[in-house]
Structure 1
């Protein structure tokens, strides 16, 4: 139930702000209200739904929210890269290189595959920092961004640029240059924020 409803919300089958009525959803999916209520609770934790005046509803999108998400994400991604440079193991480097090579081999005309490959590189960096709290927080933030499905990697020139930026971050991690890894990751995510805002403006125009 949770997986089906989450997938449909992410796919845009429910418009932002639309009320999510337990009875209607139970009839839609052929289940009782109990699993619907549990799914809505989990989706609220994910940041995909919110409480409105008439119950739960699909969370609305806004440029202010994008700024809020990235304000935290920029800081955490920079912290993750810094920690990775400090604590990475040889095995972490192998995983980083494999993820980067897989991203480089991904077709630049397949947005879902591009987004997945990019996420794998970031997750490898998070893991190399060996800080479970940072990984958990970044994973939760990523849930919020699923409501903005268009990937910034589809912006002309961004795919190649992101690959180069990843390469520089990984090199800094390999060299245990924590400050450089921090600054590169911060700049990388700052660019992503600006592109995300541009996409939102274009879609809202």
Structure 2
């Protein structure tokens, strides 16, 4: 028999993955009874999963109850306004605090990204995220890592990756290596500015993708 915590974790993981995958459209109502029947469980783990997803930013409250959070260009601007600041802070702090082991992890993540096939958008996005996460970790600031992780949860509702924009992949690789070099050299000012510019480009590309296709 599954424990209560196990049932909650399973329902949360399933519902989260389906929201990210677009099984539920933005704005779709999330009714506890309907979801309980869908996943073959009681309403209690559904209620708890929805509460966690609301904290994650994937679910919001509407006039008729909880629903999948809607998308908008205003939200993209809000997310990136904060993310640009935090990514720059993380890179700058990583340059000051990184250990030799941190640098090894960052380089390995980047080498994996370099070797990632451009025929697999999901793998491209995952490899890119892994590089950023190792830089966050090298900042040794748990609050920054937590906030960036939460912001990334918001962006998972925009499934198209900016890395598939023509020319962006090789450009992003070069920008990453420049940031890594600044971190290795403990040049916090340069690491800050490179990360800021890197994420500013990502914001502009994300807005272009949204304008071309709001469902992307």
TM-score by length of structure 1 reads: 0.99
SS at match of 1:204: coil
The within-5 A match list for 1:162-177 is 162-177=172-187
Match of 2:47 among 37, 43, 67: 37
Which aligned segments of 4 or more residues in structure 1 are displaced greater than 4 angstroms? none
Gaps of 5+ in 1: none
The within-5 A match list for 1:1-205 is 1-204=11-214
Deviation at 1:18, TM superposition (A): 1.1
Q: How far apart in 2 are the matches of 1:43 and 1:60? A: 14
SS at match of 2:213: helix
Q: How far apart in 2 are the matches of 1:133 and 1:28? A: 36
SS at match of 1:77: helix
Q: How far apart in 2 are the matches of 1:51 and 1:204? A: 21
Q: How far apart in 1 are the matches of 2:104 and 2:76? A: 33
Equivalenced residue count is: 205
Superposed CA RMSD: 0.9
Superposed CA offset, 1:68-102 (max 9, x none) = 00000000000000000001111111001101100
Deviation at 1:204, TM superposition (A): 3.2
Q: How far apart in 1 are the matches of 2:83 and 2:130? A: 16
Deviation at 1:54, TM superposition (A): 1.1
SS at match of 2:61: strand
Gaps of 5+ in 2: 1-10
